[in-house]
Chain A
Amino acid sequence: MSTAIIERIKKEIEGLDVSNVTEEVGRVTSVSDGVVEIDGISGAEMMEMVIFDVAESASLKDAIESETTLYGLILNLEEDAVKAVVLGEPSAIKEGMTVRRTQKLLSVPVSEDIVGRVVDSLGNPIDGKGALKGDKEMPIERVAFGVMERSGVDTPVHTGIKAIDSMIPIGRGQRELIIGDRGTGKTTVAIDTIINQKYEPKESRPICIYVTIGQKQSKTASIVRKLEEAGAMEYTTVLSTSASEASPLLFLAPFTGVSIAEYFMLQGKDVLIVFDDLSKHAVAYRQMSLLLRRPPGREAYPGDIFYLHSRLLERSAKLSEELGGGSITALPIIETQEGDVSAYIPTNVISITDGQIFLDGDLFNKGLRPALDVGISVSRVGSAAQTKAMKKVSGKIRLELAQFRELEAFMQFASDLDEDTKKRIESGQKFTELLKQKQNNPMPFYKQVVSLYAANNGIMDGVAVSNVHALEEAYLEFIEREHKDVFEIIEKDRALSDDLTETMNKAMEAFKDSHAHLYETEEA
């Protein structure tokens, strides 16, 4: 044994506290389905952590080998018993086992080192990269900041998705719901947003937290890999709870995520947090509530299901300058069934958030990806969260697409339509094509501005709909090669000056001259 280890052991022995410490203890009277009934501990508080003395009947050797400390969370304080949920494997708990109060409300240890790591819902690392030392204990449950402690949302979070950044802009401190059926690209929108943050300057780049609730471990593993490959893990924390974990751990996951986010927000930093997804969170909470014998309400959800999500999402905020100016932007995800946004949980969360991005299954199947239904998607913060440059170029798109949607039904009568209507339909088709984007390929906002400016000013005139993407790609490469300063100016100033628009107009002309092959005759 090395000298260092011997010295460490000596130090620990000398420092060991051997004074009389009085603990408040109770006894397990029953355990079933992860819910433990405890007799005694009359001073217990709601949401207090308790420790099950699993080692009580074990020898020292067995106690050391089992290594885990089994915690419980008190969720019911009844007249003659206290009920707690087990935060771990309940099979180790036996009737008559001693339970100790910790006199601490549930909290998670957080430090700067948590960025770049994969943790569970108690903040323990599960990525095999070593232990995490907590700098501060952040309470899992806390009251959201009040009105006077907040400031307005005025800084954009760029998702890198043209359709969102132009028409449904998200600001730092906003809650924007991503809602749609299974397999419509909800997670992709969230992951692309995280990846896109690598284009933000390091000083103002938001720290990202991706919370998975009841997801398949294979899906989480592939997402972590994708983030690593894109270089996004250096500013992202993944909080993973898989489908096989107990419902209390799934219930805690988003609260742990937002507690970690608050640690950074209180330092004046911006945080982006994704909850994937809150539908599974609601189901886990329902399971736990039914086992705790709480009275079921509509669809067997407990009566406080709205409060569960409202108190979670209210913790996302943009703080005032006096409190550091930090923010938490939340992207909760809800899965609908058959596109039904009027179901119980979806309507609850829609009413809590500051807008929704609705992903439609039909549009997805038609090849329109991201499958945004622009008609019913909205951002209640709106252009207050857009840069001046983006505001200038995005105004026309919504109108174009709205007109296109109205005229789409008449497309089958193409030969009978007047020229103006045909032009509107053609323009709508081209804009729709332009807004399509490949998965995990977010576009930095300065490129989006250049692309949309060009589209608004006729660069797509004379181009076949099928050539729009090739045209956009070629044009952006052209600008990168011949006028790189355009990107730099837009990135720095975030506005379009007259000189800049003049430069872009000339660039468009030059591009059209040198890329005539893209302007083939349109398909009949």
Chain B
Amino acid sequence: MRARDYIEAAYQALQDGKDISEVLTGLYATLENRGHQKLKAQILSGLLTYIEEKERSTAPELRLAKEEDAKKLSVSIKEALKELGAEEEPRVSIDAKHIGGYTATYNGKRIDRSYKSALLQLYKNITS
């Protein structure tokens, strides 16, 4: 079995409600039985990344230039999230480099309405 298979199995076990220590004990025992102890470090670091990726893909992300833009652009943001198919509340982060506007990301798709992207596109159109 590859490290990826162990990672997916461990994640599934966590999703089924098992305790983390129980999952890890079972994982180590399986690795020892199958002679795959070498994969332990790879599986543990991969499991963390896998959990992060899954959380990222299940929760929509909203990046704003300023906190106050959330209220100001609420209608546009709601429309964008609807278009992406996101139903839950997004995880909000602030990125001043956006200058204004927002980017909404969910499930591998993104809508970029930041001022920075629009200005960059304008610059490329003018100078090309």
Contact = CB atoms under 8 A, between A and B. Distances in A.
A20 B111 contact: yes
B70 interface: no
Interface string B87-128: 000000000010100000100111111001011111101101
Contacts of A40: 57, 108
Given A21-B111, A26-B108, A60 B120 contact: yes
Contacts of B119: 60
A24 interface: yes
A23 B4 contact: no
B79 A20 contact: yes
Nearest to B109: A22
Given A24-B108, A40-B108, A60-B120, 5 more contacts: A23-B109, A41-B108, A42-B108, A59-B97, A100-B110
B122 A12 contact: yes
Given A13-B122, A59-B97, A60-B116, A22 B128 contact: no
Given A39-B53, A80-B4, A21 B99 contact: no
A80 B53 CA distance: 12
Given A8-B126, A98-B110, A20 B83 contact: yes
Per CB-CB distance, the 6 closest pairs between chain A and chain B, nearest first, are: A25-B110, A40-B108, A12-B125, A23-B110, A20-B111, A60-B116
Nearest to A59: B97
A22 B109 CA distance: 6
Contacts of B43: none
Nearest to B105: A25
Interface string B1-21: 000100000000000000000
A334 to B, nearest CB: 39
Given A22-B111, A42-B108, A98-B110, A63 B120 contact: yes
Given A25-B105, A29-B49, A57-B97, A20 B126 contact: no
Interface residues of B, number: 27
A20 B113 CA distance: 7
Interface in A125-160: 131
B4 to A, nearest CB: 6
A399 interface: no
Nearest to B127: A67
A57 B116 CA distance: 11
Interface of A: 8-9, 12-13, 16, 18, 20-26, 29, 39-42, 55, 57-60, 63-64, 79-80, 98, 100, 131
Nearest to B123: A64
A20 B108 contact: no
B44 interface: no
Q: Most chain-B CB neighbours within 10 Å: which of A8, A12, A29, A100?
A: A12
B27 interface: no
Given A25-B105, A39-B53, A60-B97, A16 B110 contact: no
Nearest to A98: B110
Interface of B: 4, 49, 53, 57, 79-80, 83-84, 97, 99, 105, 108-113, 116, 118-123, 125-126, 128
A23 B116 contact: no
A24 B122 contact: no
Contacts of B113: 18, 20
B127 to A, nearest CB: 9
A43 to B, nearest CB: 8
Given A59-B97, A131-B128, A20 B120 contact: no
Contacts of B4: 79-80
A80 B128 CA distance: 38
A133 to B, nearest CB: 9
A23 B120 contact: no
A16 B118 contact: yes
Given A20-B83, A39-B53, A80-B4, A55 B108 contact: no
Nearest to A62: B97
A58 B79 contact: no
Given A12-B125, A58-B97, A80-B4, A24 B109 contact: yes
Contacts of A63: 116, 120
Nearest to B108: A40
A60 B108 contact: no
21 contacts: A9-B122, A9-B126, A12-B125, A16-B121, A16-B122, A16-B125, A20-B79, A20-B111, A20-B113, A21-B111, A21-B112, A23-B112, A24-B108, A26-B108, A29-B49, A40-B57, A57-B97, A60-B99, A63-B120, A64-B120, A100-B110
A42 B108 CA distance: 8
A29 B83 CA distance: 27
A55 B120 contact: yes
Contacts of A9: 122, 126
Q: Most chain-B CB neighbours within 10 Å: which of A13, A40, A42, A100?
A: A40
A484 B47 CA distance: 84
Contacts of A64: 120, 123
Contacts of A13: 122
Contacts of A25: 105, 108-110
A22 B108 contact: no
Q: Most chain-B CB neighbours within 10 Å: which of A20, A24, A131?
A: A20
Contacts of B80: 20
Contacts of A22: 83-84, 109-111
Nearest to A40: B108
A22 B118 CA distance: 14
Contacts of B97: 57-60
